[in-house]
Structure 1
Amino acid sequence: MNGKFDLALQNYKQAEKMYVFLEDEKNIFKVKSELSAVYYSVSDYNKALEISSELIPELRAFGDEKLLNIQLLRQANILFNLADYDCAIDNYKKTLTYFNKDIGNNIQNKYVALMNIGECYSQLNNKKSLDYFNQSLKGFQSISDQRNENLCLSRIGKYYFKDQKYNDALPFLKKSFDYFYASLPHLSIEIYAIYIRNLLKINQYAEIQQLLTLDTENMLSEANLQEKVFYYETMALVYEKLNNVAKEYDALKNLQKLYAEREKKNTFEELQKQLNQFNIKEEISKNKNLELKVFNLKLQNGIILISVLFTIVGVYYFVDKYKKKNKIQELSLKQLEQEKKLHEKSAKLSAIQLQFEAEIIKAKERELTALQLKIFQIKEKVIGFLETNELNIESKSASKLIKNIDRFFDNEDYWKEFQLKFINMHPNFISEINKRYPKLTKKDIDFLVLIKLNLSNKEIATLINISYESVISKRYLLRKKMGINSDSELVSVLS
């Protein structure tokens, strides 16, 4: 688990097979619990939640109170990272009865659960947050757990910072940062960035200058991508305030690389290739549609000719063979059989026509979304070019220009036009969704429109200008709100 997560998964899966062979149910549950922890560590929260959700009922039936409550705590951590704070709070609170028992490291787990409840309430902007933080802080101090004590101090500082109480936040952020920088520098990068931002808000530039002299290499050594982005965004902001153009430029260059890494699969060239493919598909659909119309006309003429011939034959047999009742009945049966075959062929042709019409609608949908994506990719390319500052524009002027471009492209007219075109293609979609799920907001339905168009998570993130992770969380929350268990079921409901 020390960073070698692939090896950990491999070993746990081998262990699970061994315990299944030995029919050692308790150790099977332990391995499953650790598997969910590995997926949690690599940020695959959906897989971690899937394993945990299956494991908890099994542990309840098995009756091992310790394993059950440890897994409830782990599932609460997963739900927190999926932004399902209410469910996370419920799970944390369920563990408190067991963790109140003075067994093993239960007391420490109890205070960790209280601290995490406080963090959930903080994310919900609920003032209950401070009550839980203070309970856990006193608890950690009583058992001399310095690491968690300072982690709790940092969370109190972040709560006050978010609440714009910068003077209240300062002592908490300072004390927690001093501890982590001295003892666990690889865990201090986020606190460092928030601490500096807090000092900026109260204009304590002398203290900021001292912090800027610290060695950040150890702090960044094990930071994840999002933590690095937050750090360099903070550095760019600080050096802009300090009028240090060279350092600001370095921070922005690092940010540019990190943004590119985060969005490396969404390059302008790849989108252009996709746009070309969409144009080709549209032309193919048009040609197929014309061929289908010609085929239908030929078929109609053939059916008319056959009907006339059958009528002539029927009249001839009726007049000439009137007395031969059995033969007339036989002919009638044959005629009915031929008509049945014609109806079957007609039904098949109708099905083919419906299929082609569906393909045409899909092509129009891709054309609609491709245009919007192209607009936003042009925006990103323009902004990226300005950020490289190859034109040697003054920093503040470039920043203003970027903001103006952002405002221009974020104009709601693009989205309104997008919605009008969508409604023309699917006139009943929004009203049907409103009837089936009346609790959905307008923003929820706008998001479902993008899923209906079969857009990838990255395409959705580009269109509505949010992060890839936020799209995943939004899909999860929407499924929960609609009572839907999986992405495949959600797509089926919208189709």
Structure 2
Amino acid sequence: MKNISQILFFAFSIPFFTFSQSFTNIDSLLSDAKSSRADTNKIRTLERIWKYYLDNDTDKSMEYANQVLNLSKELKYAKGLGLGHLYRGAIYSQLSEFEKSSNEFKKSFEIFKGNDLKKEEVLATSNIARDYFFQSKYDSAVYYNSITEKALIALGDSLKLGSTYLLNSSIYLEQGYFQLSLKNGLKSAEIFKKLGDEVGYAKGCYVVACVHESLNNRNEALKYYYESIPIFKQYNSNYTLALAYEGLTILYNKEPFQKDSAEVNIKKAIALAEEMKDSILLTTSLNEFGNIKFLSKDFENAERIYQKSLAIANEINSGFSKQILLLDLGELYLQKKEFNQAINYSMQALRLCDSLEIEVGVNRSFEILYQANKEKNNLVDAIKYLELQKEKSDSIYGKETKNRVNELQTIYETEKKEAALALQEKEIQTLNQEVEISNLRKGLYAGGMASALALSGLLIFGFRQRMKKNRIAREKQEEIYKQEIAHKKKELASQTLHLVQKNTFLEELKENLENLKSSPDKFKMEFRRIVMLLKKEKASDKDWETFKTYFSEVHNDFDQKLKTLYGDISEKEIRLAAFLRMNLTTKEIAATLNVLPDSILKSKYRLKKKLGLNKETDLTSFLNTL
């Protein structure tokens, strides 16, 4: 299965340039460039030639970007100089030479900024943000995109602002910040809709659908996919249309599996990919087609389609697609009980995922290798891969937990900034009103003009000084608070992860070790020793006390509030309430407390009753209000 970064990379990989001129005759442009004298008009002609060659001959495109740069240096034309670096950056970006492209874009940004070229600054920062996004450097992408956003708001350029929110949505989605991604995707779609940009609106809907798909909001995802598809059809936007068909296929491949709907959509995506001769799109579409056959237990056709897709991925050297297909084939051979083949393909995938630093792929490789070796009764290897898989799961889960905390922090900071901006606007409005009153007085009392102006000036100066002083004090305090809360949240996330994962790992490992009882004698003594050690490693009261300390610091003495409001609440019930407030699932809580999920459901029911909540009130939502 492909992930969103691959989709969005190709959906939004076109640099942020717009050209009002259209042209059909490149020969005419080349002739004009040769015959015209060295001035800014010639630079504009060279720009149009650069744009023509950008999509089909990068060497020629670079030649004309350099001509723009050299002629602008000769004419000491700052705007052309910045654009020359911008055009070179666009070429390097298209070639995925991101270190070079970022360097060129930053040069253009400095030139535009130094010459107060606000509109051109936006071109530079937006391209820098996209470059960082393509390199998975999401914090840097967000930083430069926020610069772009502020500049566009100041310029009143709503159309480009819609594209900025679209990129924001894509960045947050890749980070797993689903609420922020959804918010930005909806803002983008709304802006494009108001401006009558139907394709932009459809792209916004597409990204919103991807978010809902990630959140397993099936109906919402379907709604937004079907909103975008007719528009992509109308405007012959075949690439994004194919992506939307793939998205629908992924949804129909999930539970409840709808084979017929999935096949209808993926065949449309494959036909479009073949029509466009897009190898990357074709390999991902075939991969989804193979998934349909796999889910239908048609293993023969699934294998044939996976192998065809893998051949294309090898041909274009798409490492990301290759690792997915190798793992899909590993799972396929595992189901066919061809365990040596399963191990072979999983080992290939593991090496590739290691080199590409794809943690999810590494984790999936370990899981298949564990299952295949267990089926072959290679217990030593099976346990080794089980331990590696659990270790990698811990790492991934830890990052997901950290992402949850980071997203909440980002939402908090965003809301705080919005509130500060609103307050600032109100203060400015108040200041303007004072100035207007001062002017009115000046007109009515001409004799007191000098004193009125002096008083108004003093008021404004004093008001601004107070604003500055208060802002500095507030920012210092907020920075101290932010550092403290970040540390406490990090420790809390670490303790939560420790409690959730510890018993799950130990129980599964213990279960596998117990299977060694019937194995050769050399395992007997080792088995007894390890089981004794495992029993000692059960989550202790000390773990809970450490967790409770950090939890109380982050959540404002939550346990004391509960005890004050509900005097008869037990320590076990407080522990359950804390885990619910952390948004842990019933399964995670059960693993932490070493009980069955049904036991947690009963405990939740009893806790809800003790808190005096009615059936309509959600327990977790209520606890989050305390």
**Residue of 273, 277, 280 corresponding to 2:546:** 273
- Equivalent residue in structure 2 for 1:186, among 315, 320, 326: 320
Q: Is 1:366 aligned with 2:574? A: yes
How many residue pairs get matched?
340
Q: Is the 2:353–2:362 Cα contact (8 Å) retained in structure 1?
A: no
Q: Normalized against structure 1, the TM-score is what?
A: 0.60
Shift of 1:8: 0.8
Contact 2:339 2:372 in 1 (8 A): no
Where 1:3 maps in the other structure, the secondary structure is coil
Identity over aligned residues, as a percent?
12
Distance verdict in 2 for CA 1:142–1:272, change over 3 Å: same
1:125 aligns with 2:340: no
- Counterparts of 1:475-486 in structure 2 under 5 Å? none
The code of the aligned residue for 2:546 comes to K
Query: What is the distance in 2 between the residues matched to 1:375 and 1:81?
Result: 25
CA shift in 2, pair 1:139/1:271, >3 Å: same
What letter corresponds to residue 449 of structure 1 in structure 2? L
SS in 2 for 1:429: coil
Farther off after superposition, 254-263 or 25-34: 254-263
Shift of 1:258: 1.4
CA 1:156–1:220 in structure 2 vs 1: closer, same or farther (change >3 Å)?
farther
3-state SS, counterpart of residue 176 of structure 2:
coil
Residues 327 and 345, structure 2, Cα contact 8 Å, conserved in 1: no
The aligned counterpart of 2:337 is 203
C-alpha separation in 2, matches of 1:368 and 1:107:
51
What is the CA–CA distance in structure 2 between the aligned matches of 1:419 and 1:215, rounded to whole Å?
A: 42
Distance of aligned partners of 1:92 and 1:67 in 2 relative to their CA distance in 1, 3 Å threshold: same
- Please tell me whether residue 81 in structure 1 is matched to residue 214 in structure 2: yes
**Aligned AA for 1:227?**
G
The structure 1 residue matched to 2:353, chosen from 212, 219, 230, is 219
Q: Is the 8 A contact 2:326 2:348 kept in 1?
A: no
What are the equivalent positions in structure 2 for 1:99-110 lying under 5 Å apart? Answer: 99-101=232-234, 106-110=237-241
Which of the pair has the greater relative contact order for Cα pairs under 8 Å at 6+ separation?
A: 1
Q: Does 1:145 align with 2:418?
A: no
- 1:231 corresponds to which letter in structure 2? S
Asked whether 1:114 is paired with 2:245, we answer: yes
The aligned residue for residue 619 of structure 2 is 449
- Following the alignment from structure 2 to structure 1, what is the Cα–Cα distance between the partners of residues 551 and 192? 50
Whether the 8 Å CA contact 1:118–1:130 is kept in 2: the answer is: yes
SS of 1:243's equivalent in the other structure is coil
Query: d(CA) in 2 for partners of 1:132 and 1:108?
Result: 14
Distance 1:197 1:38, change over 3 A: same
Task: Tell me which structure has the larger Cα radius of gyration.
Answer: 1
Q: Counterpart in 2 of 1:332?
A: none
Distance verdict in 2 for CA 1:131–1:378, change over 3 Å = same
Residue from 377, 384, 389 that aligns with 2:592: 377
* Aligned positions of 1:391-470 closer than 5 A: 409-410=595-596, 412=598, 414-415=599-600, 417-419=602-604, 421-422=606-607, 424-430=609-615, 432-433=616-617, 448-452=618-622, 454=623
* C-alpha spacing 1:420/1:40, structure 2 compared with 1 (3 Å): closer
1:135 offset after TM fit, Å? 1.6
> Of 172, 190, 200, which aligns to 1:39?
172
1:112 partner amino acid: L
8 Å Cα contact 1:193-1:231 kept in structure 2: yes
User: Which of 299, 302, 310 is equivalent to 1:177?
Assistant: 310
Query: Is the counterpart of residue 48 in structure 1 residue 181 in structure 2?
Result: yes
Amino acid in structure 1 at the alignment position of 2:257: N
1:340-360: CA deviations, max 9, x gaps?
Answer: xxxxxxxxxxxx9x9944466
Alignment match of 1:61 (pick from 171, 190, 194):
194
Unaligned segments of structure 1, at least 5 residues: 289-351, 380-408, 434-447, 455-490
Q: Distance in 2 between matches of 1:98 and 1:424?
A: 51
Question: Which residues of structure 2 form unaligned runs of 5+?
Answer: 1-132, 399-493, 500-541, 580-585
- The CA distance in 1 between the partners of 2:551 and 2:220, in whole Å, is 42
1:379-415 deviation per Cα after TM superposition (whole angstroms, max 9, x unaligned): 4xxxxxxxxxxxxxxxxxxxxxxxxxxxxx3273x23
Q: Read off the aligned partner of 1:55 and give its amino acid letter.
A: S
Deviation, 1:260, is 2.6
How far does residue 14 in structure 1 lie from its aligned partner after superposition?
A: 0.7
Cα RMSD over matched residues? Answer: 3.6
Deviations 1:453-477 (A, max 9, x none): x3xxxxxxxxxxxxxxxxxxxxxxx
- One-letter amino acid of the structure 1 residue matched with residue 197 of structure 2: D
Letter in 2 for 1:267: H
Shift of 1:162: 2.5
Aligned equivalents of 1:142, 1:375: Cα separation in 2: 51
Distance 1:374 1:93 in 2: 38
Cα distance in 2 for residues equivalent to 1:366 and 1:159: 46
Report if aligned partners of 2:170, 2:207 keep a CA contact under 8 Å in 1.
Answer: yes
Q: Secondary structure at the match of 2:258?
A: coil
Query: For residues 73 and 429 of structure 1, what CA distance do their matches in structure 2 show?
Result: 39
CA shift digits 1:237-294 (9 cap, x unpaired): 1122233344323322311211332244422464342458999xxxx999x9xxxxxx
Deviation per CA, 1:297-339: give whole Å up to 9, x if none: xxxxxxxxxxxxxxxxxxxxxxxxxxxxxxxxxxxxxxxxxxx
1:122 is matched by which residue type in structure 2? N
When the two structures are superposed, what TM-score results if normalisation uses the length of structure 2?
Answer: 0.48
When residues 364 and 358 of structure 1 are mapped into structure 2, their CA distance, relative to the original with a 3 A threshold, is farther
Q: Give the one of 162, 165, 177 matched to 1:29.
A: 162
Distance 2:336 2:158 in 1: 57
Question: In 1, Cα distance between the equivalents of 2:153 and 2:291?
Answer: 45
CA distance in 2, matches of 1:367, 1:95: 46
Call closer, same or farther: CA 1:114–1:186 in 2, change over 3 Å.
Answer: closer
Tell me how far apart the structure 2 counterparts of residues 109 and 374 of structure 1 sit (CA, whole Å): 41
C-alpha separation in 2, matches of 1:134 and 1:235: 32
